[in-house]
Every structure is written in C-alpha cells, then in structure tokens.
Amino acid sequence: MKMVKNAVGRMVPTEINGEKVVPFMGIGKHRPTGRKHAPTISTAIDYPADGDKRVPSLKEALIRSGLKDGMVISTHHHLRNGDLVANQIFDIAAELGVKDLVWLPSASFPCHKEIIKHLESGVVHHIEGSMNGPLGRFSSEGKMKGTGILRSHGGRYQAIQDGEIQIDIAVLAAPTADPFGNGHGLEGPSACGGLGYALADYQYAEKVIVVTDNLIKFPAIPMQIVGNYVDFVVEMDKIGIPELIVSGTTQITKSPDRLLIAELTAKFCDAAGLIKDGFSFQMGAGGTSLSIGLFFHEMLKARGIRARFAVGGSTQYSTKMLEDGCLDYMLDAQTFDLEAVRSMRENRQNHPDISIFHCYDYHGKGNFTTMMDVMILGATEVDVNFNGNVVTHSDGYLLHGIGGWQNCLFAKCTILPLPLFRNRIPIICDEVTTLVGPGELVDVIVTERGIAINPKRQDLIDKVKDAGLPLKTIEELKAEAERICGIPEKPEFTDKVVAAIKWVDGTIIDVVREVKRK
Amino acid sequence: MKIAYAGQHEKADRSDCMMTLSLKKSGGPDITINSKVKLLFEKAIRKTITDVLNAFSIEHAEVTIDDNGAPDYVITARLEACIKQLIDTELSFLPEQLEQNTIGTSKDRMRRSRLYLPGNTPKLALNAGLHGGDAIILDLEDSVAPNRKDEARILVRNSLRAVDFYGGERMVRINQGERGLKDLDAVIPQHANLILLPKCETTEQLLEVDKRILDLRAEHNIKHEVWIMPIIESALGVINAFDIAGASKNVVALAIGLEDYTADIGVPRTGEGKESFFARSMLVNAAKANGIQAIDSVFSDISDMEALRENVLASKALGFDGMGCIHPRQIKVIHDAFAPTEQEIEKARKIVDAFKEAEKKGLGVVAVGSKMIDPPVVKRAVRVMELAGEKI
C-alpha cells in the first residue's frame, strides 16, 4: 500500500479497498469538481397506482431490490441501541449466501455486535460508518476483511452525495409509515423523534426499503422520509426496543467533578461575552453537556434574554429552554429523550426536524455550523497543538464514531470540556493517537484543573484574562496530569491499516492501525 | 502460607487497586499485573512494585495487583500495607512530597467548610481540593472499616505527601484512644495542618493528643504549628466544652457531632434541631469564651441544597463559623450562606475605615458618626470584610 504524508503530517494511503483516495490537504484546500451522484431514473409505470408498496417481508424486499455480492447497504441509527432492523438484514444476506457486503450505517451501537459473525464469515466485507464498542475492538485487532472508513455525520452525507460511496440498498426503519413509503419518528411504539440522518440514504440510494412497526393509512405526516423515493414498505412486529431507543429522561451529571467542569465552561462562555441575546449553541446529550446547558438556561432566565437557535440533539433540558421562552428555535437532527420527542410532536413551529444536510454537509452551499456561536464537544484525547481525537482511546483501540464532531469544529467558538485524566490516563498528550480534527479549529479546553485557550485565539484570551478564571497553558495542564498519573507508555501498532478517518471534504486525515496485542 | 491483601477492586473503586502478597522462600519476585490501564502503565506499575519490594528487602514474593487506574502513591500504600501484615518493620515507603504540602496554616484562618473524605477511598481525594473548600478532612475514624484501619493510615500518610489539595487546609480525623496516637505517628511527620479529635469528652484526652503532637513535632523537626479541633459528641463533652477549648493553645476550634450527641442524650435528631439547641449554644459559648472558632455538624441530605442553606443560616445565627461537608457541592452553598449580607459589609466597611482613619491620626478612640467603637467591634468588622472577600 502506498503511503503519503498528508497536510497534518500523518502517513495515509492513496488507495483504500481498491479505490483511489485523496490525502488531507489542509482546511478548505480541497475543491471537489464534477457533478453529484444520482440514482437511476425511475418511472411511476413501475410502481403501484394505488400507492401500496408493501411487500410481505424484509427478505422479499431485499430479494426484489436485487441483493447480491459486494453491494453497499445503508441504515440510519435513529433507533440507537434499540435497533432490531440492521442485524436482520445481514442475517437474511447470510441465509441467501450473499457475500462481501459493505455496511454503511450512520452510526453503530453495542447492539450491532451481532454483525461480527457476519464479518467473520465474509457476509460483510467492511464497515463504513462508525465502529463503536465491540465492532471497534474487532476492527482494531485487524480482524475485518476490508478497511473500515470512518466519516463524520456531515462527511457521510457528503460522500453519498458526491458518489464517493454509492448505496445499492437503503433499509430505513420508520417508527411510523404509510404504504406509499412516507415515514416519520414522532409516533408509534418505537418513536424516536426526527429522522435527520436518513435523508442522504433515500435521496441517493438505488433502492429504498422502509421498515415500520406502525403502519398507518396514507399520508404519514410529517414526511420525514418522502415516499416518492421509496421502493418497498415492510411491516414488522417490532423495529426497536423502546427503552433502548430514547432514554426515558436524559440526566445532568451528578459527579461533582463533572459539574465543576460544566460550571467552569459556563463561566468561560460568559466571560468571553458569548452568552448574549440572540446567540446560538450546540451541545451533546452527555451529563456534562446537559449541565452546561442548564447553566446557560439559568443565565438567560436571570438576564431576561433568549438564545436564537440551538442545533443538535434535543433533550428534556433543551425542551424546557424552548418552552420557557429562553430559546427561539430548536433545530433537531436527533432526539434523545421522550420529552424531546413530545416537544417535536407538539412544537412543530419552533422545534422542527432538520437533516444532516442542513447542519453539516461541507459540500453544500454553506451549512449551519459556521454560524454557531458556542459549540460544546467532547474528545478522547487532545494534544499540545490542540489536535483532537474522538475515535480511538490512548490504548490505540477504536471505540467510537466521529459523530458530528468534525463538522462542529467549524463553529465560532469550539469548547471541549474534558476531565484532565480518566482512570489514570491523561487526556492531554504530545501527539494524539488518531488525528481526527486539526488543532487550528479547536479553541478552548476546559478541565477541572484549568482552562487552556488555543494561542491562535488571542481575541478570546484578551476577553477572559481578567475574569478570575483558572487560565493555564495546555503544556501546564499536561504536566499537571502527568504529575498525578505518571507518563503513559505508547500503544504499539502493526503496519496494518484497519480503518481510515475521512475529513469533512472526503480527504484522508488519518488512519487507525491494528493494535499489537500483549 | 499467609496471604496479605489491601485495597479494593470493585468497578466503582476508581484510582484504587487490590494488592495481594505472599512471601516465598525462593524464586524471586513473581508479579502479576491485572490492570484497566495495562497497555499504558504495565512497565510503570511493575517498576513501582519492584521498588517497594526492594525498599523492604523482600526478594521472594508473589504479588498480584488488580488495578483500576491507581496512581503510584496508592499502589505503594497498598503494597506497604500488605508487607506490614506479613513482616514486622519500622520502614516506610514514602512517595515524593509536594512542596505545598509542607507548609502550616494560621490559627484564625477561615474554616467555613471542611470536606470529609473517607481515608481509605483514593478516588475521592484526587479532586477534593478543586471544589474550593476551606479544608479537607482525611478521615481515619468512622468512614473506615475496623479491619481496614492500618491500610487507611498508610494511604492517608501518602495522600498528605502526594495529593495536591489546592490550598485547602489539610486536616486528619484520627481514631480514639491508642489507635489515634498511632495515627498521629503516621500523619504528623507529613505536615498535617490540623487534627480532629473525635468524641472528645475530657481535657485529659485532649492533652494526651496535644503532648504526642508536640513530641512528634520535635522529633521530626516540624516547624509549623499543628492545630487541634476537638469534636464534642456527648453530653459530658458538652458540659466540659469550655475546659477542653482552653486546655491548649493549639485548640483552634470546637466542632460538634450531632449524630452521636443525640444518641447519647437518647433522642432522635430532627431537622428543626430543638434537641441540640443547648449543646450547640453551649459549644459556641465555650469556643468564643476561649477566643476560638465554633464549627457545626454536617448536614447529611446531599440532595437538598435549599434545606442545607437554611441549616447554615440557622448555624450562623447561633454563632457558628463553619460546618462540615460530606459532598463537594455543599461547599458553595455553605460559603454563600456564611457570607455577610450587603448591609453587614457596608457597616463593616464604615467601621474599618473609621479605625484606619483614627490610627492615621493617632487617635485612641474610634468613632463612626457619634458612636464609639470598641476594639472587638473593629475585629468583628475586619472578619466580616474577610468573609466577604473585601479589601481591607
């Protein structure tokens, strides 16, 4: 395999799974040419005039979609760890003797560990998407036949739209659907809120199968999945396990140390003048992020000001902000708890579902992230140059997907609230194990032991320097962690590339290698 | 063959390890490392264990560590605890001492909040100082199981050297009686700032501890003072509080422990606290009559911050200067509630300004408006300004 050094100094291949790839050239340096991908033209002649596209089983739908060796099968992850559909696809493929499939999920969860047996038997050749938990471990040990490809959520949309990967069959779970193929996630036993990750799949796939356990009469409104793109509709007893799809309630952290980090983050944002009337923000559904949101909410309420919009995962906390009048719009690509699902159902006007195309696609005519004032993100590691890693742990194992992380780095102020060490493992290192995001886009690291601002953001440093915050250099934070934890050894790798990390523009920013097991 | 063990290895026991040791006649050291962080710290852990074995001249042993990310000072404490179960030795294996852990504290520093840390639970100690409490207490008494007292003592000793408490006064609650004196032997040479003496009922108990501290300070050349805070937890203690408070110049505060006190007088502890009103007032008066601080009991419902705030305000109204915390999130509530009100600050500023003005002019009498101000009033005003974090 030919390897070249890319713009962030990482050695990356020029070819993956037999396809030519472009090494990362720097932020905003790669300019795509040509036209977007398009599926074959279809005609209404071939579809039932009564609009009833139902077929009796997923197996029949897959056969009628022409399932065969080497195809690319896509799924979305809105059913999260409660997904009962994805595993079935590959069980059916195995039963039919189909080999070398590529699975293109928008994310994988521990429930998808069942796919391992299909990777072992050769039914699935490799995964392009995220390899979380057990699947990540499997790939990291070099056991996957092909090379995995990890993309950000926006990068997945970009790759599908650009034809970098062409979906043969999209199998889209819809908590509610009609016989024509319109679908949404607002109602039904497996309700999950929005279906914002499914857009690229149904727009660009050659064949689209909608799977539901709540079939209603035409029309299913809102049309989060548009039936005009759909080939087959399959009714099933159960597409998901409700309690594993959405949390009953997402919860703020109870850990005093995490709360301290959240409080420091909120104080930093305030000192930097980011919390002002009409500002915008995005944060995840983890306990620390939710606590930061709660601090924001308190500040807005106390000052009688409002945030204009928030993007992202909605939760009971963002719902409360919305319904309290502290937030004008919740633009929601993924709905995390039952309260938020209710909100999306009831607050159609100011809590709309949006897609990944809207918020993240780098090959669109702009996207939402660059407009956002405050972006709260996580990381498994950050290095002294503020480069970030979200996919591997310091021991070298691939354990997480990129999520929207890379896309979100383009916001006006990106803040990473992180504990300085986790279980004796310092978070700040000399060089991240896997470089997923370049340091020039990471602005602030907030830890329980101090805040490090990227020296490139002198404007932020000037704003907060007299605010009484515990400002430190990133080197000082690193030294403090190492005093407490000691200096960790480096994991050892073989030469084998088990997965490639794509940047938001489709170029290769880094690779993950096989971990040498001791 | 006797097998020694120390430490904990449940999933929740982050930053700790379970160490198992048995001595052999031959074969050298046989070290098995099971660790969550093995890929990154195996060599470091092996070196640490080897260093400790060498320090105790142990050549042949079987050591197993089941580790959950324990820092070095915990690993060495656990192994030393195992060794001391098997051989009689006066040796110690001390971790490197942080510079900031060698300095003393002043007698009348603020002691509004003091965070209790179970002495045998390292995961709580590492970040304890970050929460801004005036003090942390490494507890060797009630929070440590009776069969874990020896290993906890070694761990607390190491914590006093190696953990940065970020400016919090470093207190240790020792055990009662003979065991407490042994605790002192371990912690006084490590520059503990203050010793909490539990269930103190008589001046004799206090003086015994005071003397041992003095002897240890002389022996280990500890220059700074080591303060004592007796905890009054019985009817007899309450009655003797005045004498206890005055028994040594090293007593800087009296604390009250209401769980034991209410049990002693045979009543349930209530939220309202009527049953302990006498004891609390007695304690405040015994302390103030001796010019020292009065510290209230802990508030044990960590989920109810509003009730805590009310509790602190009631304490403050009785004359207490601080109270114990069992959760870091209580600290801010306590500090806020002990903080003077705007009016109090305003009044104090006037008094302090008048005092400075009088001093400048060489006047012996201080007056605000037409009102004469006595020295204790000035002192209290200074205290208010300090509590409010105002410049004087």
A491 touches chain B (CB under 8 A): yes
Taking residues A66-93, report their average pLDDT: 97
In a domain, A509, yes or no: no
Same domain, yes or no, for A180 and A237?
A: yes
State the best of A397, A423, A490 to mutate against chain B, taking most chain B CBs within 10 Å. A423
Please indicate, yes or no, whether residues A236 and A297 belong to a single structural domain of this protein: no
Nearest-CA distance from B76 to chain A in Å? 14
User: In this structure, are B330 and B368 located in the same domain?
Assistant: no
- Burial of residue A275, with CB atoms counted within 10 A of its CB: 0-12 exposed, 13-18 middle, 19 or more buried: buried
| A422, A449, A486: residue with CB nearest B41 | A486
DSSP letter (8 states) at residue A66: T
DSSP category for residue A398: B
CB A256 within 8 A of CB B131: yes
Whether residue B36 and residue A449 make contact (CB cut-off 8 A), yes or no, is no
| CA–CA distances in Å: residue A11 to residues A24, B292, B360 | 10, 67, 73
Contact assessment for residue A6 and residue A24, using Cβ atoms and an 8 Å cutoff? yes
Is residue A441, in this structure, part of any structural domain at all?
yes
With respect to residue B93, please indicate whether it lies within any of the assigned structural domains.
Answer: no
Find out whether B122 and B70 touch, Cβ atoms under 8 Å.
yes
Flag if A395 and B39 touch (Cβ within 8 Å): yes
A151 and A264 both lie in a single domain: no
Task: Say whether both A202 and A102 belong to one domain.
Answer: yes
Residues A290 and A195 placed together within one structural domain of the fold: no
Do A338 and A486 share a domain, yes or no? yes
Which pLDDT score is estimated for B386?
A: 80
Strand partners, A89: none
**Chain A residue with the nearest C-alpha to that of B42:** A489
Q: Say yes or no: A222 and A332 in one domain.
A: no
Distance from CA of A109 to the nearest CA of B (A): 22
Chain B residues contacting A via beta carbons under 8 Å? 14-15, 36-44, 68-72, 126-127, 130-131, 164, 327-329
pLDDT band at A238, cuts 50/70/90?
Answer: very high
The residue type at A283: M
Domain residues for the domain of B52 are: 4-86
Residues B11 and B67 in one domain: yes
Q: Is residue A499 part of a domain?
A: no
A400-432 confidence digits (pLDDT tens): 999 999 999 999 999 999 999 999 999 999 999
Smallest Cα distance from B240 to chain A, Å: 38
Please list every residue in chain B whose beta carbon sits closer than 8 Å to the beta carbon of residue A489.
Answer: 39-44
pLDDT surpassing 70 at residue A241: yes
Confirm whether A207 is domain-assigned: yes
The stretch A145-158 carries a mean pLDDT of: 97
Name the closest residue on chain B to residue A448, using Cα atoms.
B130
Q: How confident is the model at residue A302 (pLDDT cuts 50, 70, 90)?
A: very high
- Within a 10 A sphere around the Cβ of B265, how many other Cβ atoms? 13
Q: What is the DSSP string of A142-199?
A: T--SS-EEE--HHHHHHHHHHTSS--SEEEEEESEE-TTS-EEBSSSTT--B--TTSH
- The angle formed by the CA atoms of residues A438, A163 and A360, to the nearest 5 degrees, is 40
Same-domain check for residues B350 and B326: no
Residue A518 confidence (pLDDT) above 80: no
Q: Quote the domain boundaries for residue A114.
A: 53-245
Count CB atoms within 10 A of the CB of residue B72.
21
User: What pLDDT digit, counting tens, does each position of B285-316 carry?
Assistant: 999 999 999 999 999 888 899 999 999 999 99
Give how far B71 is from chain A: nearest CA, Å. 6
- Report residue A426 as tokens: 């310092």
Is the interface score ipTM higher than 0.95? no
Cβ within 8 Å of B, A 66-95 = none
B40:A423 CB<8 A: no
Nearest by CB to residue B37, choosing from A259, A396, A424, is A424
- The answer to whether residue B259 sits within a structural domain is yes
Burial of residue B110 (CB within 10 Å: 0-12, 13-18, 19+) is middle
**Residue A248 pLDDT class (50, 70, 90 cuts):** low
* Nearest-neighbour CA in chain A from B284: distance (Å): 31
Domain-ending residue, one of B33, B60, B86 = B86
The residue among A182, A379, A489, A101 whose CA lies nearest residue B43 is A489
B159 within a domain of the structure (yes/no): yes
In angstroms, the CA B251 to CA B210 distance is 9
Q: Are residues A424 and A333 in the same domain?
A: yes
Tokens of A34: 């040509």
| 3-class SS letters over A83-135 | ECCHHHHHHHHHHCCCCCEEEEECCCCHHHHHHHHHHHHCCEEEEEECCCHHH
Q: Could you tell me if A257 lies within 8 Å of chain B, comparing CB atoms?
A: yes
Q: In this structure, is residue B392 part of a structural domain?
A: no
What is the helix (H) or strand (E) element at residue A13, kind and residue range?
A: strand A11-13
> Which CATH number is B61's domain given?
3.30.230.10
Does any domain span residue A20? no
User: What letters, b where the CB count within 10 A reaches 16 and e where it falls short, cover B38-50?
Assistant: ebbbeebbeebbe
Nearest CA in chain B to A258: B127
Nearest partner of B387 among B354, B355, B348, B331, judged by Cα:
B348
Strand partners, B31: B63
- Please answer yes or no on whether B39 and A259 come within 8 Å at the CB atom: no
Give residue B246's pLDDT: 97
- Same domain membership, residue A404 and residue A283: yes
Question: Does a structural domain hold residue A140?
Answer: yes
In this structure, the answer to whether residues A318 and A279 fall within a common structural domain is: yes
**Do residues B37 and B126 touch, judged by C-beta distance below 8 A?**
no
B178/B200 same-domain check: yes
d(CA B214, CA B220): 10
A323-381 pLDDT per residue, tens: 999 999 999 999 999 999 999 999 999 999 999 999 999 999 999 999 999 999 999 99
Chain B residues inside the 8 Å CB shell of A487: 44
> Which residues touch A117 (CB under 8 Å, ≥6 apart)?
none
**Same structural domain for residues B283 and B348?**
no
Is residue A274 within 8 Å of residue A221, measured between CB atoms? no
Q: Are residues B231 and B349 part of one domain? A: no
Alpha carbon A199 to its chain centroid, in Å, reads 14
> For residue range A465-515, what is the model confidence (pLDDT) as tens digits?
999 999 999 999 999 999 999 999 999 999 999 999 999 999 999 999 999
**Same domain flag for B168 and B246:** yes
Q: Which of A245, A267, A295 is the last residue of a domain?
A: A245
* Number of compact structural domains in chain A: 2
**Ordered per-residue pLDDT tens for chain B, 392 residues:** 799 999 999 888 899 999 999 999 999 999 999 999 999 999 999 999 999 999 999 999 999 999 999 999 999 999 999 999 999 999 999 999 999 999 999 998 999 999 999 999 999 999 999 999 999 999 999 999 999 999 999 999 999 999 999 999 999 999 999 999 999 999 999 999 999 999 999 999 999 999 999 999 999 999 999 999 999 999 999 999 999 999 999 999 999 999 999 999 999 998 888 999 999 999 999 999 999 999 999 998 888 999 999 999 999 999 999 999 999 999 999 999 998 888 888 888 888 888 888 888 877 778 887 788 888 788 888 888 887 877 77
Burial pattern B4-34, b for ≥16 Cβ within 10 A else e, equals bbbbbbeeebbbbbbbbbbbeeeeebeeebe
pLDDT at B1: 78
In this structure, the answer to whether residues A388 and A321 fall within a common structural domain is yes
Answer yes or no: do B39 and A449 touch at CB < 8 A: no
Q: Does B94 fall in a domain?
A: no
* A395 inside 8 A of chain B by CB: yes
Any chain B CB within 8 A of the CB of A260?
A: yes
How far is it, in rounded angstroms, from Cα A104 to Cα A125?
11
In this complex, the residue of B36, B39, B130 whose CB is nearest that of residue A423 is B36
Tokens found for residue A237: 């007893």
Any domain includes B91: no
Residue A449 with chain B: CB contacts under 8 Å: 130
Contact B70 A449 (CB under 8 A): no
Asked if B37's CB is within 8 angstroms of A488's CB, the reply is yes
A429: burial class by Cβ within 10 Å (0-12, 13-18, 19+)? buried
Residues B115, B138, single domain; the answer is yes
CA A281/CA A369 separation, integer angstroms: 9
On whether the CB atoms of residues B259 and B224 are closer than 8 A, the answer is: no
- Taking an 8 Å cut-off on Cβ atoms, the answer to whether B69 and A424 are in contact is yes
Contacts B42 to A, Cβ<8 Å: 489, 518
Quick check: A300 pLDDT over 70?
A: yes
Residue among A424, A482, A487 with most chain B CBs within 10 A, to mutate: A424
Both B355 and B303 in one domain: the answer is: no
Q: For residue B310, what pLDDT is reported?
A: 93
Q: Are residues B256 and B281 in the same domain?
A: yes
Tell me, yes or no, whether B187 and B254 share the same domain.
yes
Tell me which chain B residues have a C-beta less than 8 angstroms from the C-beta of A484: 71, 126, 164
Based on the fold, state whether residues A308 and A332 are members of the same structural domain.
yes
Nearest to B40 among A260, A394, A484 (CB): A394
Among B13, B37, B45, B124, the residue to mutate for chain A (most A Cβ within 10 A): B37
Confidence band for A440, pLDDT divided at 50, 70 and 90: very high
Q: What is the CA A54 to chain-centroid distance, rounded? A: 31
Gap between the Cα atoms of B100 and B104, Å rounded: 9
CATH of residue B127's domain is: 3.20.20.60
At A105, which CATH number? 3.40.1080.10
Judged by CB atoms closer than 8 Å, whether chains meet at A424 and B70 is answered as yes
Q: Please report residues of B whose CB lies closer than 8 A to that of A396.
A: 39
- On whether residue A506 sits in a domain, the answer given is no
Q: Average pLDDT, whole number, for chain A?
A: 96
Instruction: Please state the domain count of chain B.
Output: 3
Number of A–B residue contacts, CB under 8 Å: 62
Burial class (CB in 10 A: 0-12, 13-18, 19+), A518: exposed
Separation between Cα atoms, residue A319 and residue A193, nearest integer Å? 13
Q: What is the CA radius of gyration of chain B?
A: 24
Q: What is the mean pLDDT of residues A107-132?
A: 95
Is residue B385 within 8 A of residue B351, CB to CB? The reply is no
Q: Where is pLDDT greater, at B375 or A163?
A: A163
Return the pLDDT at B369: 77
Least confident of A154-163, A177-186, B255-264, B267-276: B267-276
Please list the alpha-helical segments (H only) found in B266-341.
277-289, 305-318, 329-338
Do B38 and A394 make contact, defined as CB atoms within 8 angstroms?
A: no
Residues B139 and B204 in one domain: yes
Instruction: Give the pairing of strands B227-232 and B29-35.
Output: unpaired
